[in-house]
Structure 1
Amino acid sequence: MIPSLFPAAGESVIWRVCWHASLTIVLVQLICCLIPAMPGRMRSWLWRLAIIKLIVVLVWSTPVELPVLPPHHAATATIESSHSIVAALVERTPTSSGWKIGISVLWGIGAGNFLLQIVNSYRELVQFRCQCHPIDHPLLANEFADCVRSLRFSRFPQLLVCAGTGSPFVIGIRHPAVVLPQETWQQLSTAERQMALRHELAHLRHGDLVWNLLAALVRSFLFFHPLAWWAERELRTSHEMSADELAIRTQGCDAVDYGKLLLSIVHQSGTAEFPSTMAVGAAGSVGMLTRRLAAMRFMNRVSGRAVYSSAACVALIAAIGIVPWRLVTPFGSQQPPAIPLLSVTNDRDAAQRTTAEIRISRCSGQQDSPLSKPTVEFSGDSEVTLPIDNEHSIQVAVETNRQESPLTHSVRVTFIENPQSETPKRLFAPRVTLFDGSNAIVQDLDANGEGLKVEVAVSAVPSNR
């Protein structure tokens, strides 16, 4: 997956990743702005789905094709021949230039640097945890046990104490723990300690550490995309809002009182001082704290309509926004369009005619989407150029050897890119020799199996036809 971001045909891959990332993040942000009273839990799941979408785009190269387009958009691609089929592939010349290699190197250095930061953050956290020790204060241990039971944990997390001051925070994915700085918990009142403990336990209850790590990994691979950084920040903010909601609900206090307690904790302990990638704290940054306080206006008066609207948005994005897809014509169910007979005249041999039935299909993975099926009548040794779209056309040349028995035809297909430009690019397929009435398959595919397939069936016709 990672080396394929910038291969010879990787421009389309990286464009697809950037396009899907931008569209998903902008859509989620728009939904959050249109529903300001959205519960924090719903908001966090929207951003989690955005992170899942980015992961899917990175590892899922071929979109799922939905055959829902009307049948008249394409022609049938059924092959009917009693003779053997000869296949020829166009061998593309490697097109990786110096600038592509340079971009690949820069991307690898950048992604490796951010991944190394995550590894170093984990190592620092392991060393920090070794310096912590379990709580030995009975009153604080009982308060922590009551908070754990109120949140219905299946596995009892640890309560650790470290030296110094700062905001409480949680660490550990496999072995979760809540860390309280020694000076901080001694300065807080009972209500403030319970609020801080419930907030941190809410992070563990929701599995926020795992999602924060996934967001950091995605951002490391897409470090060049500003919206990837935005999505990670919004995910962390939504996790804090969701933890605030759960802490308020389990503690049974008013949102205003909770906000005052939160400001009191920040005033006494300051903002967080921990590795942000591998831990989650109660205070966070000043900007995040401001947004959390603003969101508390809706926590006690969220309407059922806002809840249902949020749930519908989450379900909609989960249903159609995660897996990449595209609309195609049902394969094998369409009828060939009425394409007139094309004639190519060559004065050298106007009496000897050859008919070539040409089927053109667009390949995508294991699926072929038929495009057209013209029938071309050649006179002698001649060629014809068939347009496909604004960027592609094909040229078919047929030379008939009527001196041999049985009759043979030499067929050559040329794929032309940008035919309207002054210097179109031509890809020549190997020349194929066919017996009369047989057919050949010529393909021009990239590394992902996408491209064009041309099937040519050639047969001689009497001159008096």
Structure 2
Amino acid sequence: MEPLALQDLGPWLSSWGEGLWRATWQGALATLAVWALVKALPRLPASVKAGLWWAVALKCVLALGWPRPVPLPLLAAEPARSLPAVSPEPLPRAPVVLPQRVLGRTPEDVTPVRQAPPPAGGGWEVVLGWGALLLFAGWASGVAWQLVGHVRSWRLIRGMRERARPLAHPELEEELEFLATEAGLRRAPKLLVSSEVASPLATGLLSPVVVLPVKAVAGMPVEALRMALAHEVAHLRRGDLWMGWAPAFAETVLFFHPLVRQAAREYALAREEACDAEALRLTGAEPADYGELLIAFGIIRAPGTAAALGASAHLHALHRRLRMLESVDVMSPRPRRWLKGALCLLGVVGLVPFQVVAQDAPPAPAAKAATPAVPATPAPEANPPAARKAPPVPPVPPVPPHVGRVPPMPPVPPMPPHAGRVPPLPPLPPMPMEDDGDSYVLVTDGSVTMSGTTGDLHLARTFKQKGKDLLYVRQGGKGFLIRDTKTLEQIRALMKDPQAMGSAQGELGKKQGELGKKQGELGMKQGELGVKQAQLGMKHAELAQKHALLSMEHSRLESIRDEAERTRLEAEMEKKEEQLEKEESGLAKEQEALSRQQEALGAQQEALGEEQEKLGEEQEKLGRQHEKQMREVHTKVRTVIDGALKQGLGEPLPS
């Protein structure tokens, strides 16, 4: 009975396994493709990025449940096998002989021969069937666990909404009506207030509402709450409460797939960035003010279902959203129509699930009919008269030993060890860091002084306002903003001496650069002389070849029996040898002159190299002094910062 039950479940398990495998690898392929596109085009609007990641999630869902994927012939086709040729002649008829025991009986009397039933499934089929069943059970358990989490979150959101009370605030209600009209909503959502949420929240599929925290309503100005309402209205205008189900469903059914989970997180974060940009457009607020609002709420969402998922509360998400505010274009936040159309077309094509199949095999060649026998032609004669005796090929005379031998070119004198080499400028010593990772960034309108990471620099620039200096401090894992004028003046005063020493190092660097330029010019001259020496070497090779030809002519003179002719040829060859010797002597003098010039240039290069070394030693000495000075200044700066924080002059940021 067990093999029979597995046999009944076989087709269904096979279909499920194929769909799950198709969703797994096609989802991974789509995730990597969108990731590469987003990395290649970092200036893509956040709304476009959110749409791309949403399409990846929908691709996973369709690939899993699509009944008939589109065949995509990418595999190589199997070569078709041709049938052997069949003779058109009819087969001879042979008499059919029946056994005697069958003769004289009717067909009913003859007992039919029963074919043996096919053997039942082997042991391997049973093992594979049970393995597939266990895999399905594990997958179903994981999906059930994910669904339990979504149901629990949905119940929390529903209970919170039922316990929330309407907010009686005429000014905020008027602002919400105005923002909903500006965003193009048919009706404004209801405004509720609750003590169970830490940040504003939009929820409700059929009757959406916006829930504000009690502490925010009591302690924040109306302008800040207006920006928060604009963000939630942007969620409703984009339809995020409905569209969020696709990534949630993909993450549920493919809970084991790390790339699908990453795609869902990227969609949630890009969705929040798109709503941030839309909120700036609706309110006309400054990015710095909106960034302070994000830090005030800490982008921490209450737990919600797929229809109310927020961005990650991790600090990395805060950094990304704040970094987006640096480059957001409030005047034209929506992408162009052609970009939307191209991405929509690409999405429609990419969403269709496909299945890689083999290409169609080419038709087999037609079998050739048997042709009548052709009389055999007589074999050709084994040794025809024309091929019996071939004239022998005359041997190639050996090349004389001197032909083609080129005398070695005189070597180019080596360049001195310092020629053309510009010692690199010593890098400015890095600002010392404490062991606990504390850092600070002083941002002014014209310069930046920092001891920290690029992430600290991005945060500091986000909160920098025009005409106002800012000091960002990270101490003990917490961030602070210091805008106190007296504290900033003390730090700028401490930085004057290191800046002066840095200027001195810059002047030394300029001198080293000028010396390097001169060394480069000398190197170019040495290269030109090297080219001339190579040309002289080629001429030496030509003369050597002429000498080789004369040697061959000398060997031919022995075969001339006419004494007068031999004497005349010897005289001509002597004249040619004298001429070649004169040319070689002239080339040797030119080569010697070039070598002297090379030596002179090498001496100049060596002198410049020694001067360059002296400047390098001086630069290294200044570098050590600068490093020591910076350590002392860093200690003093830390003392000033500690004093400012003790006085309560630092504005804390969420950790």
- The TM-score bracket by the shorter chain reads 0.5 to 0.7
CA contact (8 A) 1:167 1:282 kept: no
User: How far, CA to CA, are the matches of 1:216 and 1:330 in structure 2?
Assistant: 37
CA contact (8 A) 1:169 1:282 kept: no
CA distance 1:172–1:201, change in 2 (3 Å): same
Q: CA deviation at 1:122?
A: 1.4
Q: CA deviation at 1:68?
A: 11
Where does residue 23 of structure 1 map in the other structure? 29
Q: CA deviation at 1:206?
A: 0.6
User: 5 Å matches for 1:274-353?
Assistant: 274-275=303-304, 277-280=306-309, 284-300=313-329, 311=340, 314-325=343-354, 336-338=363-365, 340=367
CA contact (8 A) 2:77 2:358 kept: yes
CA distance 1:164–1:51, change in 2 (3 Å): closer
Q: CA deviation at 1:302?
A: 9.4
Q: Secondary structure of 2:351's match?
A: coil
CA distance 1:67–1:138, change in 2 (3 Å): same
User: How far, CA to CA, are the matches of 1:110 and 1:342 in structure 2?
Assistant: 64
Where does residue 220 of structure 2 map in the other structure? 188
CA distances 1:189-238 after superposition (whole Å, capped 9, x unpaired): 12211100000110111111222222112211111111121111111011
Q: Secondary structure of 1:321's match?
A: helix
CA contact (8 A) 1:72 1:337 kept: no
- Match 1:237 to one of 269, 274, 285: 269
| Structure with higher helix content | 2
Unaligned runs of 5+ in 1: 76-89, 344-465
CA distance 1:48–1:302, change in 2 (3 Å): farther
Where does residue 138 of structure 1 map in the other structure? 170
- Match 2:65 to one of 59, 66, 75: 59
User: How far, CA to CA, are the matches of 1:4 and 1:173 in structure 2?
Assistant: 40
Q: CA deviation at 1:19?
A: 0.8
Q: Is residue 2:194 matched to residue 1:155? A: no
User: 5 Å matches for 1:431-450?
Assistant: none
Equivalent pairs, count: 322
Q: CA deviation at 1:300?
A: 2.2
CA contact (8 A) 2:234 2:279 kept: yes
Q: Report which structure shows greater RCO (CA 8 Å, sep ≥6).
A: 1
Moved more, 7-16 or 308-317: 308-317
- Match 2:206 to one of 166, 174, 177: 174
CA contact (8 A) 2:291 2:322 kept: yes
User: How far, CA to CA, are the matches of 2:45 and 2:144 in structure 1?
Assistant: 36
Where does residue 260 of structure 2 map in the other structure? 228
Where does residue 122 of structure 1 map in the other structure? 154
Where does residue 238 of structure 2 map in the other structure? 206
Where does residue 272 of structure 1 map in the other structure? 301
Q: CA deviation at 1:340?
A: 5.0
Unaligned runs of 5+ in 2: 1-8, 82-117, 371-655
Where does residue 250 of structure 1 map in the other structure? 282
Q: What is the TM-score of this pair, normalised by structure 2?
A: 0.44
CA distance 1:48–1:91, change in 2 (3 Å): farther
Q: CA deviation at 1:244?
A: 0.7
User: 5 Å matches for 1:340-419?
Assistant: 340=367
Aligned Cα root-mean-square deviation (Å): 3.8
Q: CA deviation at 1:306?
A: 8.0
CA distances 1:358-385 after superposition (whole Å, capped 9, x unpaired): xxxxxxxxxxxxxxxxxxxxxxxxxxxx
1:311 counterpart letter in structure 2: K
Q: What is the TM-score of this pair, normalised by structure 1?
A: 0.61
CA distance 1:5–1:30, change in 2 (3 Å): farther
Moved more, 133-142 or 168-177: 133-142
Q: Is residue 2:54 matched to residue 1:48? A: yes
- Match 1:219 to one of 251, 261, 271: 251
Moved more, 279-288 or 188-197: 279-288
Q: Secondary structure of 2:139's match?
A: helix
Q: Is residue 2:128 matched to residue 1:101? A: no
Q: Secondary structure of 2:244's match?
A: helix
Q: CA deviation at 1:319?
A: 3.4
1:314 counterpart letter in structure 2: L
CA contact (8 A) 2:287 2:325 kept: yes
| Structure with higher strand content | 1
Q: CA deviation at 1:336?
A: 2.9
Q: CA deviation at 1:284?
A: 4.5
Determine what percentage of the aligned residue pairs are the same residue: 28
